[in-house]
Amino acid sequence: MKTVVIIPARMGSSRFYGKPLADLCGKPMIQWVYERAKSAGGVSDVIVAACDKEVIDAVVGFGGKAVMTDPNHKSGTDRLAEVAKNLDCDVVVNVQGDEPLIEPESIEKAAAVFEGSVDMASLMVAVDEETAKDPNIVKVITDNRGFAMYFSRSVIPYARDERAGKIYGHIGLYAYTRDFLLKFASMERTPAEKTESLEQLRVLENGYKIKMIEVPEKPLGVDTPEDLEKVRKIIEEANQ
């Protein structure tokens, strides 16, 4: 199956303006994400989807591929779909533009599940009880076949007496068949999606399934300048 990675990126982050072009050990952060995605096995192409000329210019400048998208999109999924509708591919993997430490193996694992009858896939990681209390850490519960039953900012499942099994945190890497991505982007927002502010709930509320893949750890993403400094130290220590 032909797999393409699309990396949505925009300058206008409320917590960190200009994040894609922030300097990270001599490269713009978006270049780190691009190069790690490019090194994943089985990926035919990597494309940055951006609505800012500065990002497009930077990607082209380091030899990458970028597509200018409509600045009025409300979500990264809409930006993804705009690019995907003009692609000849089977699977689209959405890698966030603020994940410079994304593991290429995670991309490979997400893309590999589409040999069966799967429309969409994502990743999860076991988290401890204290970490799970953070509403910024999205939790997911799955059925016995590994398909998501629900995502929430609350701790799920609720432990009435004692907890049986692990708590899983969701990692926001998504993979879709191209056809399902276009269908998903055309769906109206749903009640639980609006309540939890979690776009993936739209999939479940419309009766579709998301295959969840467990990975050993969640890479540190960059939401703030402080996160960028943490990632910088990780990269510097790894290169010593």
- Residues 195/204, Cβ–Cβ less than 8 Å: no
- Residues 151/201, Cβ–Cβ less than 8 Å: yes
pLDDT at 15: 82
101 vs 213: CA distance, rounded Å: 18
pLDDT > 70 in the chain, percent: 100
108 vs 221: CA distance, rounded Å: 19
Select from 110, 96, 124, 127 the least CA-distant residue to 33: 96
pLDDT tens-digit profile of 14-60?
789 999 999 999 999 999 999 999 999 999 999 999 999 999 999 99
Domain ranges of the chain: 3-216
pLDDT tens-digit profile of 215-236?
999 999 999 999 999 999 999 9
- Residues 221/36, Cβ–Cβ less than 8 Å: no
What band does 65 get if pLDDT is binned at 50, 70 and 90? Answer: very high
pLDDT at 75: 84
Q: Has domain 3-216 been given CATH number 3.90.550.10?
A: yes
3-state secondary structure the chain: CCEEEEEEECCCCCCCCCHHHCEECCEEHHHHHHHHHHCCCCEEEEEEEECCHHHHHHHHHCCCCEEECCCCCCCHHHHHHHHHCCCCCCEEEECCCCCCCCCHHHHHHHHHHHHCCCCEEEEEEEECHHHHCCCCCCEEEECCCCEEEEEECCCCCCCCCCCCCCEEEEEEEEEEEHHHHHHHHHCCCCHHHHHHCCCCHHHHHCCCCCEEEECCCCCCCCCCHHHHHHHHHHHHHHCC
What band does 149 get if pLDDT is binned at 50, 70 and 90? Answer: very high
pLDDT tens-digit profile of 159-194?
999 999 999 999 999 999 999 999 999 999 999 999
pLDDT at 14: 76
The strand pair at 23-24 and 27-28 is best described as antiparallel
